[in-house]
Amino acid sequence: MALRRTRVPEIRKGDTIVVLSGKDAGKQGVVERVLTNPAARERVTPSGSSKGQKARAGFWKPASSRPISVVVEGLNIAKRHTKPRQTQGRTDRTPKIQQGGIIDLAQPLDVSKVMLVCPSCKEPTRVRHTVLEDGRRVRVCSHCGKAIEVTA
């Protein structure tokens, strides 16, 4: 059985990124969360087979484990209006009321719309992967060639 190396994600929590397209294009921010595909596997069943197709019932297609979106603090902000609601207080005699109002929430951005900013040369860059002498896999800036370390 061959050993498989673990895949190093290109964008991680704590990385500085720049937005390439959309309403926040050109702005930089720090990644707050990386959201991945929640489905581990997806079952593909053809809805109807036509003349030239074979029906492949039970064909398993593994879902992608790559990150699909990132939440960046201060970017892609949406406003949510909330109503005041009663929540359970410390005692039954004093109910606590959650305050209503307008909340600013950072919405997820697709990974294809952001690019990593190298912490040493401060350039938006594509990520290369190399293996060090001790066997660790690291991300490397394609401009300056230095390893990109996680700050968070």
Work out how many domains the chain is built from and give that number. Answer: 1
Give pTM, 2 decimals: 0.67
When mean pLDDT is compared across 6-15, 21-30, 138-147, the lowest value belongs to 6-15
**What is the pLDDT averaged over residues 77-84?**
92
Asked, for residue 83, whether it belongs to a domain, the answer is: yes
Asked, for residue 3, whether it belongs to a domain, the answer is: no
Positive or negative torsion for Cα 18, 24, 36, 46: negative
Res. 149 pLDDT band, cuts 50 70 90: confident
Residue 105 belongs to what domain range?
16-37+60-117
Is pLDDT larger for residue 67 or for residue 113?
113
pLDDT value of residue 43: 45
Q: Is 111 helix (H, G, I), strand (E, B) or coil?
A: helix
Neighbours of 127 (CB within 10 A): 17
CA distance 69 to 67: 6
Does position 93 have pLDDT exceeding 80, yes or no?
no
User: What would the DSSP string read from start to end of 7-59?
Assistant: PPPSS-TT-EEEE-SSTTTT-EEEEEEEEE---SEEEE--S---TTPPP-TTE
Neighbours of 123 (CB within 10 A): 14
Asked, for residue 68, whether it belongs to a domain, the answer is: yes
β-partners of residue 115 are 18
**What is the pLDDT averaged over residues 22-30?**
94
Asked, for residue 80, whether it belongs to a domain, the answer is: yes
CA distance 30 to 72: 6
Does position 102 have pLDDT exceeding 90, yes or no?
yes
Asked, for residue 85, whether it belongs to a domain, the answer is: yes
Asked, for residue 129, whether it belongs to a domain, the answer is: no
**What is the pLDDT averaged over residues 9-20?**
91
Query: Tokens representing 136?
Result: 């660790």
Asked, for residue 99, whether it belongs to a domain, the answer is: yes
- Mean confidence (pLDDT) of the chain: 79
Does position 125 have pLDDT exceeding 80, yes or no?
yes
Asked, for residue 94, whether it belongs to a domain, the answer is: yes
